[in-house]
Amino acid sequence: MNIKKIVFVMVLITLAGLPGCREKRETIFDRVVSIPKEFVLDVPYLPPLCDELSGLKKGFVDIPGGKLYYEEEGYGIPLILLNPGPGGSHQNFHPYFSRLNDIARVIYYDTRGVGKSTKDETGATYTIQQSIEDLEFLRRTLGIDKWVVCGWSFGGFLAQCYALTYPERLIGLVLIASGHGDTNVKLKPGRERMFISQAELDALQKIDKAFNEGKLNQVQTGYNKDLAGYWKFQGHYKPTREESIREAYIGPDQMLFKHLICRQMWQINLDNKFDDFEVPTLLAEAKWDLTWDTDKAEFMRKAHPNAQFELFEKSGHAIFADEPDKFFAIVRKFLEKTVHTKIVYKPGHRITLPEPPTGLELKLAAILSLSNQEEKEKKLLAVYQQAVKENIADASAWKELAFVFRGSEKSPETKHAAQALDAFNRYERYATQEELQESEHCLYVWRAQLLEALGKRAEAVKNYQEALRKFKQVSNSCAQANRAWLEERIKKLRAT
C-alpha cells in the first residue's frame, strides 16, 4: 500500500470516531461479539471534557443545606440541562451541547447528591421535591427569569415534574428519550437484551462478580463491561475507546441517591397532566432506544398532545450523540421559536409528590448502596430481624426487603427465601388495597417462587393457581409470568 492510500485510510478511521460520522461505526445490528480473553487492568486516565472545553464557566451555587455545582457557556436563550440516571453526571452532555452556545446560554449542573454537588449521607434530602426546589433555587441565583428546561432520560422525568410545579418559569420544554414515572398505561417491557448475546451476558456477570470480590476497581469494571458489550443495552453505536474510558472515569451513578429517587419516581403519575399544557414542548424519541419497546414513543406523543414530536430512526438512548446533526438542527429551530411564542400559563403545583422516606426506608437505601456483598447481607439481616422484633408496619419497606432477599426474578435464591417469603406476607398485611391491586397477580407469583425454592410444592401450586385466576395481562413487575408460563409451572410441579 503506497503512502497516499495509508493517509487516506487513517483519515477515514479518524472521521469514523467523530460525532456526525457515526454511520461508519459498528452498531447493535452488526451483532459483533468481541469479549477480551482477560480483564483489562491498565485503563489510561483521560480528564473529563469539562477540563478541555474552552469558554466553560464553572462554579457553585449555595442552596439550603449545601451547594450545587454548575457550568455554563454561550449567550442567548437560557437552556438548563437535566442529567440522566437518577444519579448521572452533567458530563454526559459534553461536548455535544456546545453546538448551541452561539444561540443559547447552556447551563450544566449536578443535582444534589451527584458529582461535585453536596452529598447527604443520610439520604433524607434525596427526594423529587427537593430536586425540583434545588433547580428553582439555581434559576433564581443565576438571575434567570425564564428558561428552556431540557431533560434526558430521568432528567426528562424531573423536567416534567418541574414544569408542572413552576410552569410560569418556562419558555420551552425539551424531553429527550424521557422517563415517564408511574402510569396507568400498560407498556411493553424494555428491549435491553435484544441485541446482546448469552456469551456477553455471562462475561458481564463475571465482571460484576470480580468487582464484588474486590478484584476490579470501579474504573476497571466500567471499562471492561463496555468492552464486553454492555453498551448494547441502551446504545446504538459502539462507543470509541476514548468514549468508554471517559465514561468509566465519570464513575457510577450515586447509588444512595439513585435508590431513593427511583422509589419516588415510580410513585408519581403524570397521566393527563399535560393535556392542557401550553408551554412549547419538543419530544425527541428514538426508534432503537432499547430502554423501552416501540410503544413508548407513541405513549409520550399521547401524553404531550400539544408537543412537537420527532422520531429518530438511527439512534439509541443518547439521541444527541447518535444523530447530532439532525437533533441540534431541530433543537435550534425550536429554541428560536420559543422566543416568539406567547404562552398562557396554567396554575403550577399540579402533581402530588410522595411523602419523604421513612427512617427504615433510609436505612435500607443506605445498605443497598453498599458494594460489599457480605457487608450488605449482614446489615440487611440485622435490619430484617429488628423490623420483625418491632413489628414495623411500613409496607413499602417490607416489599423492598422481600425483593432484596428474593434475588433474581427468574432464579430466586434459596439462601434467604424464608425471609423473603415472610417479608412478602408482611407487605400484604400492611399494604393498602390500592397497592395490592397494583401488584395484581405478581404477588402470588413471587410467593409461589419462594415456596417452590423452599420445597413447599403444594403451597406453591396454590399460589400459581391464584396468580392464573387473577391474571389479566402481562405486568412489568413479573414480566415472564404470562398464562403459558403459569400453566407450565403448575403442570411441572404437579408432575413431580
Contacts of 192 (CB under 8 A, 6+ apart): 233, 234, 290, 291
What DSSP character marks residue 102? T
Does 3 score more than 60 pLDDT?
Answer: no
Structural domain includes residue 10? no
220 pLDDT band, cuts 50/70/90, is very high
Does 258 score more than 50 pLDDT?
Answer: yes
Q: What is the DSSP string of 149-194?
A: EEEETHHHHHHHHHHHHSGGGEEEEEEES----B-SS-PPPP-TTS
**CB hemisphere CA count around 10 (13 angstroms):** 7
pLDDT at residue number 213: 84
User: Rg of the Cα trace of the chain?
Assistant: 24
Same domain, 332 and 388: no
Residues in the chain: 496
- Answer with the residue of higher pLDDT: 375 or 143: 143
Question: In angstroms, rounded to a whole number, what is the distance separating the alpha carbons of residues 26 and 43?
Answer: 22
Write down which residue in 357, 385, 420 finishes a domain: 357
| Each residue's pLDDT tens digit, 435-494 | 777 777 888 888 888 898 888 999 999 999 998 888 887 776 777 788 888 888 899 888
- Tell me the torsion sign for CA atoms 94, 67, 358, 132: negative
Question: In angstroms, rounded to a whole number, what is the distance separating the alpha carbons of residues 8 and 11?
Answer: 5
Structural domain includes residue 20? no
| Each residue's pLDDT tens digit, 125-184 | 999 999 999 999 999 999 999 999 999 999 999 999 999 999 999 999 999 999 998 888
pLDDT at residue number 372: 74
| Each residue's pLDDT tens digit, 271-301 | 999 999 999 999 999 999 999 999 999 999 9
Write down which residue in 301, 323, 357 finishes a domain: 357
Question: In angstroms, rounded to a whole number, what is the distance separating the alpha carbons of residues 439 and 477?
Answer: 7
Does 6 score more than 50 pLDDT?
Answer: no
The CATH number of the domain where 215 resides is what? 3.40.50.1820
Same domain, 169 and 269: yes
Same domain, 242 and 329: yes
Span 367-378, mean pLDDT? 80
pLDDT at residue number 312: 97
Segments forming the whole domain that contains residue 393: 359-495
List the Cα angle 60/65/67 in 5-degree steps.
10
Same domain, 252 and 369: no
Question: In angstroms, rounded to a whole number, what is the distance separating the alpha carbons of residues 430 and 398?
Answer: 9
| Each residue's pLDDT tens digit, 9-47 | 333 333 344 444 455 789 999 999 999 999 999 999 999
Instruction: Work out the percent of the chain whose per-residue pLDDT is above 90.
Output: 54
Cis omega before residue 357 (within 30°)?
Answer: no
pTM (predicted TM-score): 0.84
What is the chain's mean pLDDT, rounded? 88
pLDDT at residue number 11: 35
Span 248-273, mean pLDDT? 86
Write down which residue in 303, 337, 357 finishes a domain: 357
Does 2 score more than 60 pLDDT?
Answer: no
pLDDT at residue number 369: 82
DSSP, collapsed to helix, strand or coil, labels residue 142 as coil
pLDDT at residue number 70: 97
Structural domain includes residue 4? no
